Amino acid sequence: MSQSKITPKSYKVLAVDDNEDITELLEYTLSKEGYQVKTTWDGSTAIQLAQSFLPDLILLDISMPIMDGIEAGRLLRQIPALDYTFLIYLTARVEEYAEVAAFDIGADDYLIKPIKPRALVSRLKALLRDKNELAYSSTEFRIGDLKIDSLSYTINYQNKVLQLPKKEFELLYFLVQHQDTVYTREQLLSHVWGAGMHITPRTIDVHIRKIRERTGFDYIKTVKGIGYKFTTEPENT
């Protein structure tokens, strides 16, 4: 029996920002597109609400009272029920260290204010479409003692089951699909995050480092002055 694709009406979004005008704009814009939307104004409340609402996407500001967005994001990423929830920062913070900190705790995207409603809706649809298409592809890659399953977002390495945050998984999955091909940081950003995203190439370095730390394998090779590639021959980088 064929499975039907998920529609926007099936998705839930939690928007977290201490600016009421922004949460009202997000609720209006996304509700009009068919999403179920809940809003709150601080990171601490967001953690409590996320555990009961179980959103598919969380839009999170950084500069908030009581608990900032980076700390809230770190705690949200520790909740097993939210393993497959997209964590997207929507912030006015343009400093590179803020962006790196966001991706370091497992963010899937980093968008700069001011909000452009149509662009935001388009970006969210792209993220959910990629997730939906990946989930229904059931493609599995086996390379030596490494198996990557795109249906469950899991990695089996040396008989150990590993799980990565979604963007780290998708980056690794892309490199494995194109093993022995060298990609620049800009090319990886375009393929994994999508063209037109204003994310620094440093993001790729952070994600590669995290993949190496979490998996323990050294199949991703740094090609100095160019970028990265996945190779079946383990090498020190």
CA 123 – CA 93 distance, rounded (Å): 19
What is the predicted pLDDT for the residue at 3?
36
pLDDT digits (tens, 9 = 90+) for 64-123: 988 999 999 999 999 878 877 899 999 999 898 999 999 989 898 899 999 889 889 988
Residues whose CB is less than 8 angstroms from the CB of residue 92 and which lie 6 or more positions away in sequence, other chains included: 63, 112, 113
Q: Which residues pair with 111 in a beta bridge?
A: 90
Q: Can you name the residues that pair with 36 across neighbouring β-strands?
A: 12
pLDDT band at 236 (very low <50, low <70, confident <90, very high): very low
Q: What pLDDT sits at residue 130?
A: 61
Question: Of the segments 85-89, 122-126, 135-139, which one has the largest average pLDDT value?
Answer: 85-89
Could you give all domains of the chain from N- to C-terminal order, each with its CATH number?
8-133 (3.40.50.2300), 139-230 (1.10.10.10)
Residue 185 has pLDDT above 50, yes or no: yes
Q: Please enumerate, as own/partner, the contacts of 138-141 that have beta carbons within 8 Å and a separation of 24 or more.
A: 141/173, 141/176, 141/177
pLDDT at 195: 62
C-beta separation of 12 from 38 below 8 A: yes
